[in-house]
Structure 1
C-alpha cells in the first residue's frame, strides 16, 4: 500500500497533487466539485516562483492575472502612502487559476474522486479514508488540504482560533470608461479595515474586514448599509466614486466569508499531514495566503512520500518550518495592528493591541 491521498482541491491540495505527480507518484485527489468564490487575491513574486517550480507558470496570463502597481494604504494616520514590499506581484482570478490547475492535473492522468471525505482512521502504517458514498480507501499517507474546515482537525489537532475576523465583500464589474489602476488599497477604520483590489476582466473587489460581532447592524444583508459604511472612509469612498461604483455597491448585498486566524500546535499526526488553510488560517492583512498554500502543498507532498517510505524526518522538518513561519507571521501582524493607534479605544483595535 503506497497510495497517497490528497483531500481537497484548492491551491494547497492541487499543488500537493502536482508535486506528487512530478515525483512519479500517482496520487488520488478526493474532493467534491465546488464553486470557488470570486475574490481579489494577490500573487506575490514568491508564490509565482512556486508555480514555476511546479511547471505551472504558463497558467498565469492575461485572463488569470494582471500586474500589480503596488499597494497603497491609510494606516496609522490619515495620509495615503505607498506600502513597501508589495512590488512585482499580480492580482489574480483565483477561481480561474484553480480551474486551470485542476485541468492540468486531469490532463496528466491524475485520479480524482468527486466525493466528500467523512472520516479518517489511523492504521499501523497508513490511514483509512471514509467516503460519503460508503466506500473506504486505504492509503500510506494522507494530505489534508480541506481548507478551513480542517477535516483532520479534531481535538488532538490543537487548533486555536485567535480572533473572529470576517470579510463582508462585493465584486463589481468596472465601467469601460473608468480608469482602473491596478493597485491594492487598504484603509484602517474604527470597526476594522477596508480592502480594494482589482481583478482580471475589469472587476473590483471591495471588502470590510472586521470581527463577526462588530459588523454594522444589518450591513451583511443590506447593501445600502454596507455602502454607507464604505462612504464614511477617505480613500475607499473616493475610489468607489471615481470608478462609478458607489451606486452599484448600495444595490447589492455583500457576501460574508470567514477570515479568522486559526493556528495549530502540530501539523502531522501519524501519517496525516495538514497543509494550506487546513494547517493554519491566517489573517489576510499580510497578503501571504497564496504563497503559503503553494509552499505547504509542495512540502507536505515531499513529506508524505517520505512517510510512505517509513521516513518521518521530512514531515517533522515541514512541521517545524511551518510553525516557525506562523510565529513570524503573527509577529509581523501584531506590529501592523500596533502601528494603528487612532482607534485605540475601539473594540476591534483593543483586541489586537492586546495580542500576546
Structure 2
C-alpha cells in the first residue's frame, strides 16, 4: 500500500513548504531520475510537478542492456528487478534485406534488455524519488513564470481543483517532454531534424499463441514496424511513418492500420487471425530535435525537453535517465558553487550525446536501400537536413 499512497494522495516525507531548492516540471523518467540523483547528492528540497497521474497508456517500453548500468548508478537496480517487467534476449529484424537478422543480448556485458509496463515503471521511479524524500504533486500543471531574479524563479502551478499556488525555486528543471513548456519561454525553438508519426496499438495475445519475447522490427516501403511483447500477455505494435502517409491511407482508423499490420512478415502467422486492438490507435509525434539553448541561469532541460530521438535507436528512456543524472550533478555543483563551468559542461554533454545519436540514426537508415523511389526512405538519406 505504501507505493499506492505516494502516487494517489501525493504523500510526501518532507515538511510542506512553498520554497524549494529545485522544482522539476514533469514526472517522467527524466524528471524522476533527476530527483532521485539530486537527493542522493544531498539536495533535500526537491518538488516534482506532474500533470498526469501515471494512469494513461504510454508508448516507449524498451530498455536496452546498457540501461541496467544507469539503474545501478541510481541505486534502484534491485528494486527494479522485483517489479516483474519482461527480460528480452535480443531483437529480430527484417531490415536492409528480405532476410531476418538477429541481435543477441546474451553476449552483452551489461546483461539482457527489458520490455516494460511503462505506467508501472514510471510509478516505480516516482515512488523511489518520494521514498528518498522528494515531494510529488500529481494532476498539477505548470502555469507560468511569475518572476525571475538572480537567485531563482517564482512559478505558478495549478492543481486539478483549479487552485493556483506560487512556488519559489532556486533552480528549475524542464522535464516536460518534447513540448519543453518551460524552456521554450527561455530561448529559441527547437531545431527539428525529422518529423515521424508513431501509430501504436495494443493487442492481446491469445493463450494458444506463442509470441517471441524478442523485439521485432520490419522495414517497409512506407516506413517501419515495431513489435514488442509486454507484461500481461499484450503486444504493442507500432508503425513509424510520415504524416502524409497517415493522411493518405487514413491510418488512424483501426481497420486501415490493422490491414497493413496483417501484411507484415515478422509478425507470427498464428497471431494474425487474432489481431484485435485492446485500445484505440495512439498517434504520437516522434521528432528528432534538439534545443539550441537547453540551459541558462538557474534552469536546464532534461530528457525530451532538451532533445528528442528517433525511436529506431531505442534510446528514449535511456536518454531520460542519463540526462537526469547528469543534470543532478550539474545542479548540485551550481547550488554548492563548486564549478563555475557546470552549465557549459552540461550543454557540451547534450551536444555530444546528440551527435552520437545522429550518427547512430543515420547508420540505421543508411542500411535500407530496397526502395529507391520511396519518399520515406529518400527523405532520411539526407542526414544534414534541418526542418523548420
TM, length-normalised to structure 1: 0.91
For 2:176, the equivalent position in structure 1 comes to 146
CA contact 1:39–1:171 (8 Å) conserved in 2: no
Question: Which of 44, 50, 58 matches 2:70?
Answer: 50
Change (3 A) 1:151 1:40: closer
Question: Which of 85, 90, 95 matches 1:65?
Answer: 85
1:185-226 deviations in Å (ceiling 9; x for gaps) = 111111110000111222111010011222264544322211
C-alpha displacement of 1:127 = 2.2
Task: For 1:123 and 1:275, locate their aligned partners in 2 and report how far apart those are by CA, in whole Å.
Answer: 22
| Pairwise CA RMSD | 2.2
Whether 1:352 and 2:380 are equivalent positions in the alignment is yes
User: What 5-or-longer segments of structure 2 have no aligned partner?
Assistant: 1-18
Question: Which of 347, 351, 354 matches 1:326?
Answer: 354
Q: Which moved more, 1:275-284 or 1:132-141?
A: 132-141
Question: Which of 23, 30, 38 matches 2:49?
Answer: 30
C-alpha displacement of 1:63 = 4.6
CA contact 2:36–2:132 (8 Å) conserved in 1: no
CA contact 2:206–2:274 (8 Å) conserved in 1: no
Aligned residue pairs total 352
What pairs up with 1:142-181 in 2 under 5 angstroms? Answer: 142-154=172-184, 156-181=187-212
Whether 1:308 and 2:339 are equivalent positions in the alignment is no
For 1:129, the equivalent position in structure 2 comes to 155
For 1:10, the equivalent position in structure 2 comes to 28
Task: For 2:293 and 2:79, locate their aligned partners in 1 and report how far apart those are by CA, in whole Å.
Answer: 33
For 1:211, the equivalent position in structure 2 comes to 242
Change (3 A) 1:244 1:78: closer
Task: For 1:66 and 1:233, locate their aligned partners in 2 and report how far apart those are by CA, in whole Å.
Answer: 24
Task: For 1:231 and 1:136, locate their aligned partners in 2 and report how far apart those are by CA, in whole Å.
Answer: 52
Question: Which of 119, 126, 143 matches 2:144?
Answer: 119
Task: For 2:116 and 2:382, locate their aligned partners in 1 and report how far apart those are by CA, in whole Å.
Answer: 34
CA contact 2:262–2:272 (8 Å) conserved in 1: no
CA contact 1:168–1:255 (8 Å) conserved in 2: yes
C-alpha displacement of 1:24 = 2.4
Change (3 A) 1:40 1:149: closer
Whether 1:96 and 2:114 are equivalent positions in the alignment is no
Change (3 A) 1:355 1:31: same
1:107-147 deviations in Å (ceiling 9; x for gaps) = 33322233211223542122222223432222111111111
Q: Which moved more, 1:49-58 or 1:155-164?
A: 155-164
Runs of 4+ in 1 over 4 A off after TM superposition: 84-87
Task: For 2:182 and 2:279, locate their aligned partners in 1 and report how far apart those are by CA, in whole Å.
Answer: 36
C-alpha displacement of 1:158 = 4.1
TM, length-normalised to structure 2: 0.84
